[in-house]
């Protein structure tokens, strides 16, 4: 009588393969989610950098205006516009 060959027990192999496939699927899903989050954060970073640049320009403009407002030229200009003041030797012509 011939000996029968034993069939190897492949249940363990199938179980390991299933676990590996589930792990790969989970990794793939999380990878897609992380890429979307990364893209969103990159867009947000770009927008915030643009806002920062605008605010820096505005701050510089305000600083320049502040310096100008402390000059005699500005004070004379405001005295002429707001209070109608003139120098003693000036003649003012007004259009009707």
pLDDT tens per residue across span 4-14: 777 777 888 89
Band of residue 28 on the pLDDT scale cut at 50, 70, 90: very high
The answer to whether residue 8 sits within a structural domain is: no
Cβ-Cβ contacts under 8 Å for 92 (sequence gap 6 or more): 86
Which residue shows structure tokens 């890429």? 35
pLDDT for position 38? 97
Considering the domain boundaries, does residue 56 fall inside one?
yes
User: Model confidence over 29-63: pLDDT tens digits?
Assistant: 999 999 999 999 999 999 999 999 999 999 999 99
CA distance 46 to 54: 13
Here the tokens at position 46 are 């770009």
Listed residue (50, 71, 69) closest to 61, CA to CA: 69
Q: State pTM to two decimals.
A: 0.57
Residue 10 maps to a domain = no
Backbone φ and ψ for 12, nearest 5 degrees, come out as -60, -40
What confidence category does residue 2 fall into, taking pLDDT thresholds of 50, 70 and 90?
low
Q: How many domains does the chain have?
A: 1
Is 67 a domain residue?
Answer: yes
Task: Specify if 50 maps to a domain.
Answer: yes
């Amino acid at each position: 009588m011939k000996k029968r060959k034993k069939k190897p027990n492949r249940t363990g192999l199938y179980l390991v393969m299933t676990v590996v496939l589930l792990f790969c699927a989970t990794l793939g899903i999380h990878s897609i989610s992380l890429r979307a989050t990364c893209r969103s954060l990159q867009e947000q970073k770009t927008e915030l950098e643009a806002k920062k640049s605008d605010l820096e320009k505005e701050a510089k403009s305000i600083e320049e205006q502040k310096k100008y407002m402390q000059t005699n030229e500005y004070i004379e200009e405001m005295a002429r516009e707001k209070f109608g003041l003139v120098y003693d030797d000036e003649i003012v012509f007004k259009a009707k």
